[in-house]
Amino acid sequence: RLVGGIAVATLALGAIGAAGAAAAPGKPSGPRYTAGAAGVGDAYFPYAGNGGYDVQHYDLDLRYTPPAAAPAPLEGEFEGVATIDLVATQDLDRFNLDLRGMEVHALSVDGKPAASVAPPLAGAEVDGAAYWHVQDDDARIWELTVQPRPKIKAGQAVQVVVEYGGTTTRPEDIEGALYGWVTTRDGAMVVSEPEGSMTWYPVSDHQTDKATYSFEITVPEGKVAVANGIQPKPEDTADGWTTWYWDAPDQQASYLTTASVGDFALRETYSSGSGVPIIDAVDTKLNAARLATTNASLGWQDEMIDFFESRFGPYPFVAYGSIVDNDSVGYALETQTRPVYSSQASEGTVSHELAHQWFGNAVSPERWQDIWLNEGWATYANWMWNEERGMRTAQTAYDNWYNTARPAGYWELQIGDPGELGLFLTQVYNRGAATLHALRLEVGDDAFFEAAQLWVERYDDSAGTSEDFQAVYEEVSGADLDDFFQIWLYDQQKPPTTWTTP
């Protein structure tokens, strides 16, 4: 396999920038500059995220032209300047960013330009400040390596500026689902779970490195660009281009970033309880039936926030609201403060994506194998919302789930480790929700909700594992939950109706 004319096998770790050797004990201390790792070590996506530094802030200055009318190809034109503030966590000789399908035009570190060079052969030295970009679609390796000069000391803050761009298409995730910067005829739907943010900005693309964001998105006049958070100032228009400003001051995982573009009508309201601004963007091209469904569903957001706050604790971010696109990627995504919906927003999905703001967004899954903590909770919160609305109790939803006949394979999936191709299987959602309902029956309502709130509070702005989650429930309830979680997350059979908690 060739990458820029160099066989990947001979690139070796040095070219991509995997971790160098640790400092030998007994040697005099002092800087030992090594390469930051090419991934954070997530078993499902080994090259997602990067090691050796911690991003503080991304400032994304984007200019985007949606495709021309059909029959022109469904491709957009994209130019970006990403300004990334990071702090080194080790003495850095090299470090990586993830970037897929875009070309880098220029790169600097603290104002010092780096030269574009071909990926070096294994072990080869590169002179001076430089960068190189390995993009291997077959191996799913997309790594932009930066060699800063001077080298960076542990604890040092630097600013990396990347000028980049290219033709946007419709990227696919490992399962073949659309994700990332998905070009649509009228704009773009930007939904990047699990590691699709690298299709539109240089990033440490893993939720263990959260950061704040600011956006300046320039689009042809008449188009609306909607990202996370709030508008710090109104858009401005000059020479046929409109620039939209958005600020996301809360810690945010990369997969939850959006900057969707379309023919949206923006409207702002406030939640009645805590007064969170709710900024919705609804495609003006929705047909009457979809618009009616969407408006009715979004009309519940305010009361849903109040209800979930009463169960899960304070709404965790500065703002909320929804982006409803006339186009579809086949699913909705809980992008932080501003979920994206395909074609229309149903009440059930709105409750699901809102609940993700606590479960998935404020507290993210530390490893992708912990995805049930996202989808189980969001599904369970929808069961709770249905009960609150007098539609069907959570107990009935659980009973229906439990009593439905399933093909044998259904019970074999370990929702606590579903595999990278199993992240979004129905078992992760529904067995995940049932796990939470069973846990509630096991520890009682008081402990169940107290622990839920403690979980969000303790791991807010951060990430946790299934083991961390079990520990919080054991701490609050005083119960030993080893058997419980073994049965529900890992046993490859239908959970029994009763089990013993020692």
Which residues are near ligand ARG by CB under 6 A? 173, 177, 179, 193, 331-334, 352-353, 375, 424
280 vs 334 by CB, closer to ligand ARG: 334
**Residue 66, preceding bond cis, omega within 30 degrees?**
no
Residue among 355, 321, 324, 322 at smallest CA distance from 342: 324
Helix 445-459 / helix 301-312 crossing angle, nearest 10 deg: 100
Contact between 279 and Zn ion per CB under 5 A: no
Residue 325 binds which one of ligand ARG, Zn ion, none, with CB within 5 to 8 A depending on kind? Answer: none
331 vs 499 by CB, closer to ligand ARG: 331
Minimum distance of ligand ARG from residue 349's CB (angstroms): 7
The DSSP 8-state label assigned to residue 255 in this structure reads G
129 vs 371 by CB, closer to ligand ARG: 371
Structure tokens at 197: 């943010």
CA distance 335 to 152: 33
222-232 burial, b at 16+ Cβ within 10 Å, e below that, comes to: ebbbbbbbbbe
175 vs 399 by CB, closer to ligand ARG: 175
Residue 247 binds which one of ligand ARG, Zn ion, none, with CB within 5 to 8 A depending on kind? Answer: none
Contact between 178 and Zn ion per CB under 5 A: no
Question: Ramachandran region of residue 369, left (φ > 0), alpha (ψ -120 to 50) or beta?
Answer: alpha
Residue among 189, 241, 245 at smallest CA distance from 214: 245
Residue 118 binds which one of Zn ion, ligand ARG, none, with CB within 5 to 8 A depending on kind? Answer: none
Residue 186 binds which one of Zn ion, ligand ARG, none, with CB within 5 to 8 A depending on kind? Answer: none
98 vs 375 by CB, closer to ligand ARG: 375
Residue among 465, 499, 466, 467 at smallest CA distance from 483: 499
Structure tokens at 337: 């403060």
Minimum distance of ligand ARG from residue 362's CB (angstroms): 15
Minimum distance of ligand ARG from residue 176's CB (angstroms): 9
| Residue nearest Zn ion, Cβ-based | 378
Residue 332 binds which one of Zn ion, ligand ARG, none, with CB within 5 to 8 A depending on kind? Answer: ligand ARG
271 vs 361 by CB, closer to Zn ion: 361
CA torsion through residues 167, 253, 337, 397, sign? positive
Minimum distance of ligand ARG from residue 178's CB (angstroms): 8
Residue 402 binds which one of ligand ARG, Zn ion, none, with CB within 5 to 8 A depending on kind? Answer: none
52 vs 339 by CB, closer to Zn ion: 339
Q: Which residues are bridge partners to 264 per DSSP? A: 283
Minimum distance of ligand ARG from residue 179's CB (angstroms): 5
Minimum distance of Zn ion from residue 10's CB (angstroms): 42
Q: What are phi and psi of 496, to 5 degrees?
A: -70, 165
Minimum distance of Zn ion from residue 245's CB (angstroms): 29
Minimum distance of ligand ARG from residue 189's CB (angstroms): 12
Pure H helices in 127-210: none
CB under 5 A: which stretch of 19-27, 250-258, 368-376, 397-405 binds Zn ion?
368-376
422 vs 495 by CB, closer to ligand ARG: 422
218 vs 301 by CB, closer to ligand ARG: 301
Residue 417 binds which one of Zn ion, ligand ARG, none, with CB within 5 to 8 A depending on kind? Answer: none
Residue 333 binds which one of ligand ARG, Zn ion, none, with CB within 5 to 8 A depending on kind? Answer: ligand ARG
CA-CA-CA-CA dihedral for 310, 312, 313, 317, to nearest 10: -120
Helix 394-403 / helix 426-443 crossing angle, nearest 10 deg: 120
Minimum distance of Zn ion from residue 307's CB (angstroms): 18
186 vs 353 by CB, closer to ligand ARG: 353
Residue 331 binds which one of Zn ion, ligand ARG, none, with CB within 5 to 8 A depending on kind? Answer: ligand ARG
Residue 55 binds which one of ligand ARG, Zn ion, none, with CB within 5 to 8 A depending on kind? Answer: none
Which of 378, 384, 415, 463 is the binder for Zn ion (CB under 5 A)? Answer: 378
27-61 burial, b at 16+ Cβ within 10 Å, e below that, comes to: eeeeeebbbbbbbbebebbebbbbbbbbbbebbbb
- With contact defined as beta carbons under 8 Å apart, do 484 and 442 qualify? yes
Residue 182 binds which one of ligand ARG, Zn ion, none, with CB within 5 to 8 A depending on kind? Answer: none
How many Cα atoms sit within 13 Å of 465 on the Cβ side?
7
CA distance 365 to 420: 14
314 vs 348 by CB, closer to ligand ARG: 348
CA distance 415 to 411: 9
Q: What are phi and psi of 77, to 5 degrees?
A: -110, 130
- With contact defined as beta carbons under 8 Å apart, do 148 and 158 qualify? yes
CB under 5 A: which stretch of 36-44, 342-350, 373-381, 391-399 binds Zn ion?
373-381
Residues near Zn ion (CB under 5 A): 375, 378
